Every structure is written in C-alpha cells, then in structure tokens.
Amino acid sequence: MFPWLWIWAPQWRLPLSGDVAQDIEPVFNAFFKGIKPEAGNGRIEAKAMDVASYGRQLGLLTDLLVDLAERTLPASGRDDATLQEIKRIRAEIEAIKQTEYAAQDEALVAQVRAVRARGGQRAARLSKRLAAPAAGGR
C-alpha cells in the first residue's frame, strides 16, 4: 500500500547511483598517519603524542646528542662529520621555525591593524585586551 503523500516524495535513481555508506569516525586518525597500526599499542602511542610530538621528542634527543658529542669528541681528538651534519640539520629546522613564527607574527599584526582601521566597538575591545597584562605573568 502506498502512503497517502507518496506522489510528493519520489525517489530517483540514476545509473551508478544508490545508497552511500560513509564511515564517520570521531577520532581524526584519517588525517594523521604517523602512528602505524603495527606500532605496538596504538592507544599508548597516541597518548605519548599528546605528551610530546615526534618533532619535540626528536628536538630533545638532537640537543642531547649534540651536547654529549661536543663533550666527548674533543676528548677523543676527532671531529665527526656526522655531528656537523646533525648541527646543520638542527640549524636548518630552527631557521624554518623562525621563518614560520615571523610569518605568523606578521599575519597577526596585519589582522590587528585591520580591526583597528575599521574602528568601532570591536577595535576598542581589542585595544583594551591588548593593553591588559597577559595572564600568567607572560
């Protein structure tokens, strides 16, 4: 038996069409492929990433390695090319960071200037917030 409003609810099916099944996962693992499924316990790996990212962990290990090598190599009388390469990589990464931070700073300054140029209550609130001392003593 047809519903009484069936004429106003047609269902059209074109060739190669039909119902769509989509997996919607609330965790955004689809965007980050850094933790492989075979990498031990995935939950532990994800929680470790919350504590310190791979970049932060590698940065700390690099700093430690360079510090230890600088103390050890002069005593042994040799200059290791690998240490120089690690220092070069570290300096290049720091330069990338500084460039990105500078670009973020410039974008922020441009946004603040744009708000102030428009004026109004929003500009007054922004100026007041920027003039207030930062929370936490920073």
What does the pLDDT look like over 50-80, one tens digit per residue?
888 888 999 999 999 989 888 887 766 666 7
Both 62 and 99 in one domain: the answer is no
Is residue 16, in this structure, part of any structural domain at all? no
Domain boundary among 79, 97, 114: 79
Is residue 49, in this structure, part of any structural domain at all? yes
pLDDT-above-90 percentage for the chain? 33
Span 92-122, pLDDT tens digits: 999 999 999 999 999 999 999 999 999 999 9
Both 94 and 57 in one domain: the answer is no
Name which of 48, 30, 27 is nearest 39 in CA terms: 48
Give dist(CA 71, CA 65) in Å, integer. 10
Name the packing angle between helices 54-76 and 81-118 (round to 10°). 140
* pLDDT for residue 97: 92
pLDDT band at 46 (very low <50, low <70, confident <90, very high): confident
Q: What is the pTM of this model?
A: 0.56
Span 123-138, pLDDT tens digits: 999 999 989 887 655 4
Tokens of 15: 């060739």
On whether the CB atoms of residues 80 and 73 are closer than 8 A, the answer is: yes
Name which of 25, 28, 36, 34 is nearest 56 in CA terms: 34
* pLDDT higher than 60, residue 30: no
Q: How many domains does the chain have?
A: 2
* pLDDT for residue 43: 75
* pLDDT for residue 73: 77
Range of the domain at 64: 36-79
Instruction: With residue 15 as reference, give the H or E element that holds it.
Output: none
Domain boundary among 79, 105, 130: 79
* pLDDT for residue 100: 95
Both 99 and 62 in one domain: the answer is no
Both 137 and 93 in one domain: the answer is yes
Both 97 and 126 in one domain: the answer is yes
Both 121 and 96 in one domain: the answer is yes
Is residue 62, in this structure, part of any structural domain at all? yes
